């Protein structure tokens, strides 16, 4: 395993998500100071996800031309600029504009991480390697949720100060990325002539199984970002302080860290993938429904269950394009899946915010998330099994 490469990818995942997940714990502050609705505030959290959806495919094409290392490295520099600028925002419009800059960098860097992994790591270990950089995402997001209100915000008592402090991880990641990470061996990149690019893209578009994977990621992102984006407010509605609300919400990500290492290994040893999609989906559907009437003292339990189940689904879905597609199509396929999938990260929080503005409650949103997970279980059964056990029989 190329640990220097995976270490750079881990740092990049951390630096991408920590500045993003510092927003939900401050939602009540941003809403009050900038005179926003809940739906409008959700955009400050979800715009980077929108940019992943928009930039994912162009990011893959750019990396084909200049290399994965350079494309993702330029992206992290743009992230640094955007996160620093967020710390200077004085209005909702300027903060949103600077968030778009940060999001553009995310859109350029993040989609190239699976491509980097697929170029350096043997296909049968793609799930394990994916778990490594996904754990960086989990740690960054969990820390941002857990310490933004109790530790970071009191330093300056301004949301601008919080954004400036959370710009430090991208700065460190940018420096170490350009020092540690190398371009993959040229013979592993499967560079195709430009004339074949359009043909390859159309071939990928015709793959029905890949569309199922994209829909799965859309539903997973819709669930995960709606849950983590509004869970702090859900905790506060049950009586938690803002500090405790962020800490409880972060449990989802803390338990996800060992999960993204252990579950891909278990799936690899069992030689099966589909159970790691449909079973977590059923668990999440039950838990999201049950959280409506659950007391605050018990909310750690759904956070643990959702953390394990959602992280298992996420790591499994990210590895599927590598396992389903021919090697020369992995980059294009991953870009397409991310472009479609991450629209769910925008749609979900926006719908949740709108429902909250209209009803003053998150109950309908939780029922909606439960239904989305049931749909994911159904789609998982429709996919072919990509595990080694079934392939060996075939």
pLDDT at 191: 45
Q: Which residues contact 23 (CB under 8 A, 6 or more apart)?
A: 30, 44, 45, 229
In the block, tokens 């926006």 appear at: 350
88 domain-assigned: yes
Question: ∠ at Cα 174 (137, 180), nearest 5°?
Answer: 90
What is the C-alpha separation between 71 and 61, in angstroms, rounded?
Answer: 10
What is the C-alpha separation between 27 and 232, in angstroms, rounded?
Answer: 9
pLDDT at 189: 47
392 domain-assigned: no
Q: Which residues contact 310 (CB under 8 A, 6 or more apart)?
A: 220, 223, 224, 227, 252, 256, 280, 284
Query: CATH no. for residue 29?
Result: 1.20.1250.20
Query: How many folded domains does the chain comprise?
Result: 1
- The parts of the chain modelled with pLDDT lower than 50 are 187, 189-196, 394
Nearest partner of 150 among 288, 268, 244, judged by Cα: 244
394 domain-assigned: no
189 domain-assigned: no
Q: SS3 helix, strand, coil % of the chain, rounded to 5?
A: 85, 0, 15
pLDDT at 192: 46
What is the C-alpha separation between 279 and 274, in angstroms, rounded?
Answer: 8
Biggest CA–CA distance in the chain, Å, is 62
191 domain-assigned: no
367 domain-assigned: yes
The number of residues in the chain equals 394
70 domain-assigned: yes
pLDDT at 170: 96
Give residue 128's domain range. 3-184+197-387
372 domain-assigned: yes
């Amino acid at each position: 395993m190329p640990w220097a490469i995976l270490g750079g990818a881990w740092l990049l995942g951390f630096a991408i998500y920590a500045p993003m997940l510092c927003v939900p714990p401050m939602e009540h502050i941003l809403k009050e100071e900038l005179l926003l609705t809940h739906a409008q505030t959700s955009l400050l959290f979800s715009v980077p996800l929108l940019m992943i959806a928009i930039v994912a495919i162009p990011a893959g094409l750019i990396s084909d031309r200049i290399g994965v290392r350079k494309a993702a490295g330029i992206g992290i520099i743009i992230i640094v600029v955007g996160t620093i600028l967020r710390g200077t925002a004085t209005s909702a419009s300027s903060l949103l504009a600077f968030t778009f800059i940060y999001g553009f960098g995310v859109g350029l860097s993040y989609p190239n991480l699976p491509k980097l992994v697929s170029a350096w790591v043997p296909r049968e270990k793609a799930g394990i390697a994916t778990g490594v950089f996904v754990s960086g995402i989990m740690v960054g997001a969990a820390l941002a949720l857990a310490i933004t209100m109790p530790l970071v915000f009191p330093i300056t008592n301004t949301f601008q100060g919080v954004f400036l402090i959370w710009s430090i991880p991208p700065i460190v990641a940018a420096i170490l990325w350009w020092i540690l990470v190398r371009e993959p061996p040229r013979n592993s990149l499967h560079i195709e002539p430009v004339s074949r690019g359009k043909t390859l893209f159309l071939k990928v578009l015709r793959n029905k199984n890949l569309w199922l994977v994209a829909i799965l990621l859309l539903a997973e992102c819709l669930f995960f970002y709606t849950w983590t984006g509004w869970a702090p407010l859900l905790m506060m509605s049950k009586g938690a302080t803002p500090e405790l609300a962020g800490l409880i919400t972060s449990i989802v990500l803390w338990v996800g860290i060992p999960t993204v290492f252990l579950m891909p290994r278990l799936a690899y040893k069992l030689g099966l993938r589909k159970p790691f999609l449909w079973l977590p989906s059923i668990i999440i559907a039950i838990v999201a429904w049950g959280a409506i009437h659950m007391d605050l003292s018990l909310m750690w339990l759904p956070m643990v269950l959702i953390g394990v189940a959602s992280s298992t689904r996420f790591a499994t879905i990210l590895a599927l394009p590598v396992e389903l597609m021919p090697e020369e199509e992995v980059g294009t396929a991953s870009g397409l899946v991310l472009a479609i999938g991450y629209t769910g990260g925008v749609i979900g929080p926006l719908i949740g915010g709108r429902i909250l503005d209209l009803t003053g409650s998150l109950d309908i949103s939780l029922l909606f998330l439960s239904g989305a997970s049931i749909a994911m279980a159904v789609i998982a059964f429709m996919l072919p099994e990509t595990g080694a056990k079934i392939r060996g029989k075939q």
